Amino acid sequence: MSRREVLAPGGFGNNGAVTDEPLVLGIETSCDETGVGIVRGKTLLADAIASSVDEHVRFGGVVPEVASRAHLEAMVPTVERACAEAGVRLADVDAIAVTSGPGLTGALLVGVAAAKALTLALDRPLYGVNHLAAHVAVDQLEHGPLPQPCVALLVSGGHSSLLLVEDVSAGVHALGSTIDDAAGEAFDKVARLLGFPFPGGPHIDDSARSGDRAYVDFPRGLTSGRDMQRHRFDFSFSGLKTAVARWVEARERDGEPVPVADVAASFQEAVCDILTRKAIDACRTRGVEHLLIGGGVAANSRLRALAEDRAATAGIAVRVPRPELCTDNGAMVAALGAELVARGRAPSELDLAVNSSMSVTTVVA
Ligand code: KG4
Ligand code: ZN
């Protein structure tokens, strides 16, 4: 089979048998996770992950060069682990999908080079896909076909976006995004300030459970006045981060102890209030009845609870994939790849380039 040939559902597997749905291998290396996932249609068969997060802890954030080297070392063993987990041979794979942007250039290059090598060796089609669209497509592995249309709130350490999705394989419409820090980045920076290790989001989540959400009324950026009019579906978290820093500094200057759980809960409440308010507003404005939440921050317990509450009041249904599928992984890339194959979309060329700032409107590069 030529790698330029577009597989349709009901295509041929390597042994000539007619398969109902394509077997797709997905590779994700846009940040610090080396993810290799294998899906058949909308069924998840394997989701192998190797994370270099421990190597970044002492730096307080992801160091691109360290991440790239870790991807290089982890790639082959992670591909092998995914095949073993799925009980398939590489030769059984019908198509290869890989994140080609957005993300860290060096990290993306490792994944794209590996995907091209597999494409050449196996003579299968290659799909260079958008990381954000993959965060949307992954929900199909857990909850079945995506409702059309839906609004997607994607919140992680590298991105915070509100998207309108009609057909994830055809294109995604950007409603808004962060104008400064990503939501996860704000969690990580505030966590550092409060003495928690990187990545700080889960620590804030834990600490906030015993804190008072109303202890400090931190600012909600871009939610009122002219800012809100101009940036209705955009986010800004850098003012909030600075407000937390000032509050903590003032406390320390006065020689008083910092009530960590209360500050964590108040900060988390501000972030979750902003995110859910804007996401529900986007659904209402666009007449959309389904909200999908993805990205690492979707694991946050308060974000899930507040989204459920507010969505129920507004008559909107919420879908959030389980935490392992919310954070970066290879299964999400394979899920989007399988959707592209199923819809007969054209694959990428073999000279596929990485694009660290790929626009969300590009689904296949
Ligand atoms: O999607 P992800 O694994 O990687 C990217 O950044 O693309 O997301 C990681 C981010 C980190 O900033 C981490 O602190 C945050 O997700 N995070 C959380 C929670 N779990 C992970 N933030 C808040 N609450 C959590 N429970
Ligand atoms: Zn991500």
pLDDT tops 60 at residue 288: yes
Mean pLDDT of 295-319: 97
Domains 4-138+329-342 and 146-323 share a fold: yes
CA 262 / ligand 2 centre spacing (Å)? 28
75-96: pLDDT as tens digits: 999 999 999 999 999 999 999 9
Predicted structure pTM score = 0.91
State the Cα–Cα distance between residues 159 and 149, nearest whole angstrom: 22
Verify whether ligand 1 is closer than 6 Å to residue 31 (CB atom): yes
Verify whether ligand 1 is closer than 6 Å to residue 299 (CB atom): yes
Tokens 């992680």 label which residue? 156
Residue 165: left if φ>0, alpha if ψ -120 to 50, beta else—which one?
Answer: beta
CA 118 / ligand 2 centre spacing (Å)? 23
CA 323 / ligand 1 centre spacing (Å)? 10
Verify whether ligand 1 is closer than 6 Å to residue 106 (CB atom): no
> What integer pLDDT is reported at residue 1 of this predicted model?
40
> What integer pLDDT is reported at residue 277 of this predicted model?
97
Verify whether ligand 1 is closer than 6 Å to residue 181 (CB atom): no
Provide the H-helix boundaries in the chain.
Answer: 53-56, 64-86, 105-122, 131-137, 139-143, 183-193, 201-208, 225-230, 238-253, 260-286, 301-314, 323-326, 330-342
97-152: pLDDT as tens digits: 999 999 999 999 999 999 999 999 999 999 999 999 999 999 999 999 999 999 99
Name the phi and psi angles at 164, rounded to 5. -105, 120
DSSP string, 251-302: HHHTTPPP-HHHHHHHHHHHHHHHHHHHHHHHHHHHT--EEEEESGGGG-HH
Q: Which amino acid is at 192?
A: R
State the Cα–Cα distance between residues 251 and 144, nearest whole angstrom: 49
CA 28 / ligand 1 centre spacing (Å)? 16
Ligand nearest to the CA of 161: 2
Which fold is adopted by the domain 4-138+329-342?
Nucleotidyltransferase; domain 5 (3.30.420)
Verify whether ligand 1 is closer than 6 Å to residue 268 (CB atom): no
Q: Indicate the top mutation candidate among 104, 108, 187 to test ligand 1's pocket, ranked by most ligand atoms within 8 A of CB.
A: 187
Verify whether ligand 1 is closer than 6 Å to residue 187 (CB atom): yes
Best CATH choice for the domain 146-323 from the list 3.20.20.70, 3.30.420.40, 3.40.50.11540, 3.40.50.300: 3.30.420.40
> What integer pLDDT is reported at residue 19 of this predicted model?
54
CA 296 / ligand 1 centre spacing (Å)? 3
State the Cα–Cα distance between residues 294 and 138, nearest whole angstrom: 9
- What number of CA atoms fall less than 13 Å from residue 176's CA on the CB side? 21
Ligand nearest to the CA of 104: 1
Mean pLDDT of 330-341: 98
Nearest C-alpha to atom 22 of ligand 1 is from which residue? 201
> What integer pLDDT is reported at residue 180 of this predicted model?
96
Verify whether ligand 1 is closer than 6 Å to residue 103 (CB atom): no
Nearest C-alpha to atom 13 of ligand 1 is from which residue? 201
The region of weakest confidence among 26-40, 59-73, 79-93, 304-318 is: 59-73
Domain ranges of the chain: 4-138+329-342, 146-323
185-230: pLDDT as tens digits: 999 999 999 999 999 999 999 999 999 999 999 999 999 999 999 9
Tokens 């682990």 label which residue? 81
Ligand nearest to the CA of 49: 1
Q: Which residues contact 315 (CB under 8 A, 6 or more apart)?
A: 289
- What number of CA atoms fall less than 13 Å from residue 331's CA on the CB side? 25
Give the number of other CB atoms < 10 A from CB of residue 216: 18
4-52: pLDDT as tens digits: 444 444 443 444 344 579 999 999 999 999 999 999 999 999 999 999 9
Q: Which helix (H) or strand (E) holds 26?
A: strand 23-28
* Residues in the 5 Å CB sphere of ion ligand 2: 156, 328
Verify whether ligand 1 is closer than 6 Å to residue 321 (CB atom): no
Q: Indicate the top mutation candidate among 327, 328, 358 to test ligand 1's pocket, ranked by most ligand atoms within 8 A of CB.
A: 327
> What integer pLDDT is reported at residue 10 of this predicted model?
40
- Nearest atom of ligand 1 to the alpha carbon of 183: 12
> What integer pLDDT is reported at residue 207 of this predicted model?
98
Nearest C-alpha to atom 3 of ligand 1 is from which residue? 327
Per-residue confidence band for 61, with pLDDT thresholds at 50, 70 and 90: confident
Mean pLDDT taken over the chain: 93
